[in-house]
Amino acid sequence: MAATHIFDAPPDGVAADWTMPQNWAAFTAEQHATWRTMFDQQSQALDGYACRSFLEGLDMLRQLNPGVPDFAELNALLKPASGWEVVAVPGWIPNQPFFEHLANKRFPAANFVRPPAQIAYSEEPDMFHDIFGHVPVLADPAFSDFLVAYGQAGLRAEKLGASDYLGRLWLYTVEFGLVVEDGELRAFGGGLMSSFAETLSALTSPEPRRIWLDIERVMRTRYNFDEFQRVYFVVESFEQLLCATEETDFASIYRKITGEPALEPGDACRGDVAYEGRLPPARPGPANGEAAR
């Protein structure tokens, strides 16, 4: 099975919601070997760098037969533990079905495995990125609720023409987010989990900026596709990430930043609070104590 690209409409064999049969039996011995190599390398390297929820969730993947995971076998473990199920998709899919899947606890996973030559870096997110990078954290209740809330927010953003802003929140949290655990900085984003080199850079290099999460700031910030990020956003916990999402009036942010110039990766911004190994200053909550939807 080879990598695919965005289509205007679901191709043959793909349903209207962009899901498809995994056809697990079609994966080759080489693809199974590639998966085992990547799994062994990444799972051993990430101990001490990945967040606790990821490492605990990784034990679920270890229960599967070695090689490319059979989604039916995976879902038999994942759904009772988290309420989520993995669905196969051909690659990148449009925003609307992507958000609908998340809002209904279906995690889309690309139905192809990168070639051996791209073990260190895949040109586009493949099944290893989607399954190894993201699935282990789905069993964390707060992170699970955040993804559902994100999917619901995405459906609203589509109607407002603001999906690009919300996409930046995804990239800087779900893909490249950092979290504080027991006073230590740990990685949780799937883009980091599937790339140990960037995980190491994100946590230890003096070059990137690490700042506390501010949703408006995130939505104004571009990101890099083909190089390590120059700025990483830090959350106190997944509960704080969920709370920030539920209490933020996304629509008002979209209106505020529409027409404003985007920040380039690594730019300093007035109001940034750098992570310096301690919790950030307390932030006031909504005046009425309720989510500002």
Residue partners of 132: CB distance under 8 A and separation at least 6:
38, 39, 42, 61, 193, 194
Which among 281, 53, 277 is positioned nearest to 185, based on CA atoms?
A: 277
32 is catalytic: no
Q: Which of 129, 144, 163, 198 is catalytic?
A: 129
What is the residue type of 164? Answer: D
Beta bridge partners of 185: 180
CA distance 12 to 9: 9
Q: What one-character DSSP code corresponds to residue 87?
A: E
| Residue environment code for 97-129, b if the CB has 16+ CB neighbours within 10 A, otherwise e | bbbbbbbebbbbbbbbbbeeeeeeebebbbbbb
- Which member of 43, 53, 144, 194 is catalytic? 194
E strands within 155-248? 178-181, 184-187, 209-212, 231-235
**Residues facing 180 on adjacent strands:** 185
Annotated active-site residue 194? The verdict is yes
Residues facing 201 on adjacent strands: none
Catalytic residue among 134, 163, 195, 198: 134
- Residues designated as active site: 129, 134, 175, 194
